[in-house]
Structure 1
C-alpha cells in the first residue's frame, strides 16, 4: 500500500481545517473490507448487470439471483473498516455534515453514520417491480435456499469472483429457480440502481443539499465516471467550496478539484485523520 505524500496530506488538512465538509465515497473505501472495486488498478474487466437487461431478460434475472445468493454470503461477511469508522467519528464530532455514497454495501450505516445518502440504494433491500412491495434481502435469500437446496452446497471456490455490487459469477445455473414476489408473484429486483438506471430525483436532492450546505467536499475512492458524482462536484464548485479527491488510479473531474491525491484511501485518510484530530 503506497505511503501518502505528507505534503499533500498537510495541504488537504489545511483546506479542511475550520470547515464543515461533505464526503462522497466510492468503492475504494470498501476494498479494505474485502469488497473489490470496479475500475481500480488490477480490477478485472467486467460487464455489470444493467437495468434494462435485468427487466427484459429472464435469463439475466436467473444469472443475477444465482450469483447474488453466493455473493450475498461473501458480502454479508464484510465489516466496516477503519475508514468507515473514522468518517462516522467525524460526523459525531460535527466536522462532517454527511456522506453521499455510491456504494451499496451498507458499511457506512453499520459504522454508525447517520447523515447518509445511499445514492445507488442498498443490497439489504429487495423490491417487487410489479406491486412495489419491499422485502428484507434475508427473506429472499431464504426463499432461494428453500427452492434451490443444491445452490446452498456451493462455496466461494465454485464462483469465478465476487463483484462490487454483491453478486458473484456462477458458471452453472441448470435448474435454478428464480425468487418471485410472495405477494403478487411478480419480478423481484434488489433495491439498487443498476447501470443504465437513474438515481431517484428526491434521493439525489438530499445528497446535493449536503454538499450545498458544506464548506468543502472530500471525495474518497471514486473514479467519478458516473454522472451523479460529477454533478455533486459541480454543485461544490458553484458554491465555491474546495474539492479534494483521494483515489487509486485516474479520477474523473480532476480539473474541478483543488487537490488530487492519487493512492489508496485507507492510509491517506488515516494520515488526514491524524492531522485533523
Structure 2
C-alpha cells in the first residue's frame, strides 16, 4: 500500500484539490455501487422522471422500493474514506468537494460546503408547491399508511432503490404533499432530468480554479461526472483517479490508482497531516 500512498500524497500535498466522488466511496458504508467489485448490476430499469410523473403505478412501485431502501441508506454511516476527505479539507488541502452520491455521507463525516450534484435522498420535494420536507417525516407517514407492509430489502442500490416482488408493490399505499396535495419526490436528479444549470456551472468554476482534480470511486461512465474530468483536462488541471476497476476517464489521468479507498485515503491523510505538523509553532501547540 505504501507504494501507492507516496505518489498520491505527493500530488495532494500542494493543496487546492477538488474532489469528485462517486458511489465507490460509499461501498464500505454498506451501499454497493453499480459497477465496482462490490457492486451488483441494477436489477431493474431505473425510474425516469417522466415515468414517475405520468404513471401512478410506476410511482407506487418506486415509493414501495425506495421506502425499504431508505431504511438501509438512513442507517449507513461515513467510512474511513469519507473521514479522510474531511480531514484533508479541514487541513486546507481540499478546496472543494463535488459528489455524485445522494447519501449525505460526506457531510455526516464533517466535510463542509459539499456540492451534491444529484441532490440528497434525505430531502423530499413537492412537485406542486415546491415545498421541502425531511425524508424522516415522510418515512413516518408511509409507515402509518402501510402498517402491514412486510417487504424485505435484500440489496440496495446507491440511489436507495431495491428489488421488490410485484405482489408486495401492489399492496403499497403512497402519500401526497400535506400542504397542497401535490406529488412528492425525493430531492434527487432522476434519469431523464438534468442537474440544475447553476449547480453545474458552479462545479465547472470550482474545477477550473483547482490545482488538481481528484476522482474518488467513480467509473465516470455517465457524462454527469465525466464532464468535469474533461473540463479539467482541457484547462490544464491535472486529473488523478482512484477507483477499483477501469474508468472512462483513465485517458485523462496523470495518475491512476486501483486500491480500496477506505485503506488508501486514511493512509494518505496520515502521511500528509503528519508532514504538515512541523509547521505549527510550539506556542500554538500549547
Partner of 1:207: 203
Q: Which runs of no fewer than 5 residues in structure 1 stay unpaired?
A: none
Contact 2:31 2:76 in 1 (8 A): yes
Equivalent pairs counted in the alignment come to: 269
Shift >6 Å, 4+ stretches: none
Matches within 5 A, 1:187-266: 187-266=183-262
Alignment of 1:1-277 (within 5 A): 4=1, 6-41=2-37, 43-46=39-42, 47-151=45-149, 154=150, 158-171=152-165, 172-277=168-273
Aligned CA RMSD, in angstroms, stands at: 1.6
Quote the offset at 1:90 in angstroms: 1.2
1:26–1:102 Cα contact (<8 Å) kept: yes
Q: Secondary structure at the match of 1:71?
A: helix
- Tell me, in whole angstroms, the C-alpha distance in 2 between the residues paired with 1:117 and 1:135: 19
CA–CA separation in structure 2 for the residues paired with 1:17 and 1:161: 38
Q: Distance in 2 between matches of 1:29 and 1:197?
A: 24
Q: Give the Å deviation of 1:271.
A: 2.8
Q: 2:24 & 2:49 partners in 1: Cα distance?
A: 23
SS in 2 for 1:173: helix
CA contact (8 A) 2:124 2:135 kept: yes
- Cα-to-partner distance string for 1:127-153 (whole Å, 9 max, x where unaligned): 1112212111112111111111112xx
Deviation at 1:56, TM superposition (A): 2.2
Verify the 8 A CA contact 1:97 1:115 in the aligned structure 2. no
Q: CA offset at residue 42 of structure 1? A: 5.2
For the residue of structure 2 that corresponds to 1:249, the secondary structure is coil
- TM-score in terms of structure 1 length: 0.92
Structure-2 separation of matches of 1:127 and 1:195: 16
Contact 2:128 2:183 in 1 (8 A): yes
Indicate conservation of the 8 Å contact 1:180/1:187, yes or no: yes
Q: Deviations over 1:185-230 (max 9, x none)?
A: 1111100011222111111122222222211011000000121211
Give me the whole-angstrom Cα distance separating, in 2, the residues matched to 1:49 and 1:264. 30
The match for 2:283 is: none
Give the gaps of 5 or more residues in structure 2.
Answer: 274-286
Tell me how far 1:273 sits from its aligned partner: 2.0
For 1:66-98, what per-residue CA distance to the aligned partner results, in whole angstroms no more than 9, with x for missing partners?
112211111111111111111111111111101
Q: Is contact 1:223–1:247 with CA below 8 Å preserved after alignment?
A: yes
